[in-house]
Structure 1
Amino acid sequence: MVETVTIGVNVINREEFTEQIDVRFVKETNDIEEYKYYNLENEYLSKRDITISLDKEKSQVFNVDIEFSENIVDSAEEIRLEFTKSYNDKLYKLQSQDEEEDIEEVDNEIKPYDPTLIRVDQKLFTIESTVEKIMKKSIDLNPEFQRKFVWTDITRKSRLIESVMLRIPLPVFYLSEDEDGIYHVLDGLQRLSVLNSYLNNGFRLKNLEYLEEECGGKFFQPLSEDEDERKAEYEKNPNKYLPQKYVRRINDTMLNFNVVDSRTPDQAKYDIFRRINTGGKPLNRQEMRNAMATPHTRQLLKSLSDLEIFKKATAYSVKDTRFADQELILRFIGFYLIDNEYKHSVQYKGAMANFLDQVIENLNKYYSNREKFQNDIFQAFKRSMENSYELFGDKGFKRTTVINKALFLSVSRNAYRYELINDYNAEQNVELRDLFFNYNYELNDDNNTFWIGKVEKLELKSRTIDDSLSTGTNEILKIESAYTIMAEILEVLINESN
């Protein structure tokens, strides 16, 4: 089998100008499953494509979003790695049989707010006062988010600082103010993180374009709060720190902020976020939610995603790099609130992306800072994962080789309700469950007849849950059908073992 793949990569030419070109590779599989990579040709294309040639008569073409570990990928080995990662990501999505959250889902739903209520104010802060606000946590830089997405290229960080020293204006920043007066960064997180890091001597300037001779290799300034001590340290090591004229220039530079007022409807905030989210690496929906979440909400989701039993039950296959694990968990929380009739649960209307946006907002406002709720949801989710693993091993949420989100939701919503006391044959349970999904009266064998007499309207329910887990999985009726039928499946499997 030969798989032809075209990916977009960034290269840097001899004049140090960055450009995007498309490099076409072939991945060739032989009989012993060894892969060979080689470059076919370089050519400029209008878009980045990936083509998997399955055979002469069948092929699939779909867009690729390359995730760069650095800003520039220019070596053959890095290109091969990016190709492999992109191929595997797309293969995962194709096999998962689960609908992607996309903008169409949002646009098809009537907006639940009056656009005239949107309030965005312009504010100017100096860099010095901005960093002071970050230090006092009145501007929330979201440490978890930073660790995953902040710039790592020292040259890029240094040249941002150089732009400030050269008096080149920085693009506008967007903040969202919450009811406690805390600013959450909607756009500009990486730039603010770099400014904060440099003013706290987090790195030395390197590879400057114009000021290397004067400022290269230098920290910002001594960090002592006492002015005399700071002056003495500077005079003792003048070559270690920036000349004072650049320190003053950086401190006094005004940054332009557009601040979304706390009275702006929650869904309007997400609309604004999506419209301004046009950077080099656009955020997915769960990354946006994470950026909008309060520290309490982020900590709650992180504590659940860090559970070892969650990782075991999902076969360590759900990535945390773009918060895919927390998106799964947020689905569980949203429907847990519904199933247990919480006052501030969110009605599900068939648009999963909007639903999860609203669940995050309600966690922010009502639940994530309440100790009892934190304990209740933690214990429920933990027990759900434990029971799923006890019953099905690491295949509780899989129909093929990958996690099926619809199956995860239908199992997890039910599994926490049981106190399991016996040992279970997970392999046999998976086989029986899958036979239910694909039940056929015409097959007259022992396994196939297991379900007869145990579930009413067996063939209809088999077809219904199979369809609910395969296509249109976010439809209201299909989510509820999968939930109720899965409850019957679990009851039978648990009772048979008892």
Structure 2
Amino acid sequence: MATETIITDAQRMTEEGTSFGTPSGIERELPSETVDDLQIAEPFNPDDIDVTTRSMTIDLLLSRIRSKAIDLEPDFQRRRGIWTDRQQSRLIESLLLRIPLPTLYAAEDEEEDWAIVDGIQRLTTITRFIEPEAIGETPLSLTGMEYLGESFNGKFFADLPARLKRRLRETELVVHVIRHGTPQEVKFNIFARINTGGMPLSAQELRHALIPGKSRHFLGRLAGLEAFKQATTYSIRDERMADREMVLRFVAFSMTRPEDFRAYDFDRFLGDAMREINRLDDAGLQRLEHSFIRAMDSAREIFGQDAFRKRYRETDARFPINKALFETIAVSLANLSDSELERCILRQDEVRRRMMEAMQDREFESAISQGTGGIGKVRKRFETVSKMLKDVANV
């Protein structure tokens, strides 16, 4: 009976199981988009799928981490450290008890390096306990041992008997590697299908993992700007990269005019935008950053704490940030001339009144609430907001 309990606990110890909490990307009322929300917009050739399964000892995985062939440092930093020391210790306890861990999933790049899409917490925990210097972490001291007893609490890896050290290093983990030649959209769909654990990766976390390049750093920098945080009243958290997705939506519609939007797959549209960012020079990135800051500052001045939130009447309670409204209002403000923007700020009461009037329109309300990635919905909300701002500015 005790053995059954141990196995059940180990099976629950997935990448971010429900017992470890459910941090929300934005305010709790508006859940983050996850792969559960995604749909495969078009079929793909099964022959394009190239997946290999490898069984590797922890020693071999640590060797790849040391040589940066598995990069746990800067790009997945936001996903590291979610588990507490107690939760990490329980994983090490499972390894010492020879309980198999869930499979790891990785995407291979052209250099045969791996981006771990499912398994960051497990690999970070193992590395922190055995070779913390490889990832610049403080050593893990075991705590809260459930089956190995109090004698293991407070122990570091160096304190373990030689046979247990060897047991850990020789433990084999299964890694499914999606090879470099597999098309990006196929990789994305594969991970969307296999990533169904206690807390699936968000769509932006998948994009972040599968699309390397300067876009990762650029989105992170803009998401960290004080202008963005103030405009969104510090309500968008970074645990699930919801902040980066919001920035990406602004950038995507800044590079592709809403009236030219043709994407039948909104997630591919955002992924293509990240690839386009990778191709921009420094001057192009600076222009986008300046436009973003200008839009954030203007939204805060005009709408105050209601920026990017639904409001039907002045007496309504405050709604959470709405992603469709964010991209629409921010890009529409960024497209105004300086003089138009100044007049909108001076006539902010009129802007707010007209925005509430727009909310009464059933078609517009639907365009910011349901199926917001559809071509018709995108065009409707951008046409409505852009025209409203132009009308106020040019009265």
The answer to whether 1:110 aligns with 2:24 is no
> Relative to 1, partners in 2 of residues 1:415 and 1:246: Cα closer, same or farther, differing over 3 Å?
same
Q: Which residue of 2 aligns with 1:410?
A: 328
Q: Distance in 1 between matches of 2:128 and 2:175?
A: 19
Given that 2:105 and 2:116 are in contact with CA atoms closer than 8 Å, whether structure 1 keeps it comes out as yes
Q: Is 1:203 matched with 2:136?
A: no
Give the superposition deviation at 1:254: 3.2
Equivalent residue, structure 1, for 2:136: none
Task: Select which of 23, 28, 33 maps to 1:89.
Answer: 28
Superposed displacement of residue 209, structure 1:
4.8
Paired residues of 2:89 and 2:145 also in contact (CA < 8 A): yes
Distance, in Å, in 2 between the alignment partners of 1:103 and 1:118 is: 21
Structure-1 residue corresponding to 2:392: 493
Cα-to-partner distance string for 1:312-333 (whole Å, 9 max, x where unaligned): 2223333333222222222122
Residues 487 and 294 of structure 1: is their aligned pair in 2 closer, same or farther, counting only changes over 3 Å? Answer: same
Q: Say if 2:240 is the partner of 1:359.
A: no
| C-alpha distance in structure 2 between counterparts of 1:18 and 1:171, whole Å | 12
User: Structure 1 unaligned runs (5+)?
Assistant: 1-14, 21-65, 73-81, 94-98, 222-240, 440-461
Map of 1:297-316 to 2, 5 A cutoff?
297-316=215-234
Superposition map of 1:445-484 within 5 A: 465-484=364-383
**Secondary structure of 1:139 counterpart:** coil
Q: 2:164 aligns with which of 246, 251, 265?
A: 246
Structure 1 distance, partners of 2:80, 2:244, is 16
Alignment partners' CA distance in 2, 1:319 and 1:243? 42
> In the alignment, is the contact (CA less than 8 A) between 2:51 and 2:178 conserved in 1?
yes
Contact 2:34–2:201 (8 Å) recurs in 1:
no
- After TM superposition, give the deviation of residue 309 of structure 1 in Å: 1.3
The correspondence of residues 312-461 of structure 1 with structure 2, limited to 5 A, is: 312-339=230-257, 348-360=262-274, 362-363=275-276, 366-367=278-279, 370-400=281-311, 401=318, 402-420=320-338, 422=342, 424-425=345-346, 427-434=348-355, 436-437=357-358
Equivalent residue letter for 2:354? R
State the Cα distance separating 1:257 from its structure 2 match. 1.7
CA separation of 1:392/1:495 partners in 2, compared to 1, >3 Å: closer, same or farther? farther
Q: Does 1:219 find its partner at 2:152?
A: no
Residue 434 of structure 1 aligns to which amino acid in structure 2? M
Question: What's the offset of the Cα at 1:131?
Answer: 1.8
Poorly superposed stretches of 4+, deviation over 6 Å = 15-20, 99-102
1:269, distance to aligned residue in structure 2 (A): 1.0
* 2:174 aligned partner: 256
Taking a change above 3 Å as real, the CA distance of residues 102 and 283 of structure 1, as seen in their structure-2 partners, is closer
Query: Which structure has greater strand proportion?
Result: 1
- Separation in structure 1 between the aligned mates of residue 144 and residue 352 of structure 2, nearest angstrom: 60
Select the structure of larger CA radius of gyration: 1
Structure 1 residues 347 and 133, CA gap change in structure 2 (3 angstroms):
farther
Q: Report the equivalent of 1:172.
A: 103
Shift of 1:208: 3.6
Q: Residue 433 and residue 261 in structure 1: after superposition, are their counterparts in 2 closer, same or farther (change >3 A)?
A: same
Q: Which runs of 5+ in 2 are unaligned?
A: 10-15, 133-138, 312-317
Q: Distance in 1 between matches of 2:377 and 2:251?
A: 19
Q: Measure, in 1, the Cα distance between the counterparts of 2:162 and 2:266.
A: 53
TM-score (norm 1): 0.63
Name the one with the larger helix percent. 2
Opposite residue 334 of structure 2, the aligned amino acid is: Y
Does the residue aligned with 1:122 lie in a helix, a strand or coil? strand
Partner-residue secondary structure (3-state), 1:479: helix
Q: 2: CA distance between counterparts of 1:269 and 1:262?
A: 9
**What is the CA–CA distance in structure 2 between the aligned matches of 1:393 and 1:373, rounded to whole Å?**
29
Contact residue 393 and residue 426 of structure 1 kept, 8 A: no
CA distance in 1, matches of 2:152, 2:357: 70
One-letter code aligned to 2:350: N
Deviation of 1:472 (Å): 4.0
Corresponding position: 1:275 with 2:186: no
* Larger RCO (CA within 8 A; separation ≥ 6): 2
User: Quick check: 1:115–1:268 contact (8 Å CA) kept in 2?
Assistant: no
- Alpha-carbon separation, structure 1, partners of 2:80 and 2:254: 30
Tell me what 2:314 maps to.
none
| Cα deviation code 1:387-444 (max 9, x no counterpart) | 33344334342222232322222222222233535473364133342365268xxxxx
CA gap 1:162/1:372 in 2 versus in 1, 3 angstroms: same
**What is the deviation of 1:118?**
0.6
Aligned-partner SS, 1:184: strand
What are the superposed Cα offsets for residues 216-235 of structure 1, whole Å, 9 maximum, x if unpaired? 422223xxxxxxxxxxxxxx
Q: Is the 8 A contact 2:351 2:392 kept in 1?
A: no
Separation in structure 1 between the aligned mates of residue 291 and residue 100 of structure 2, nearest angstrom = 50
Cα distance in 2 for partners of 1:250, 1:411 equals 53
Identity score, percent: 32
Deviations 1:241-267 (CA, angstroms, capped at 9, x unpaired): 222333233233333322111110112
Query: 2:205 is matched with which residue?
Result: 287
- Taking a change above 3 Å as real, the CA distance of residues 406 and 216 of structure 1, as seen in their structure-2 partners, is closer
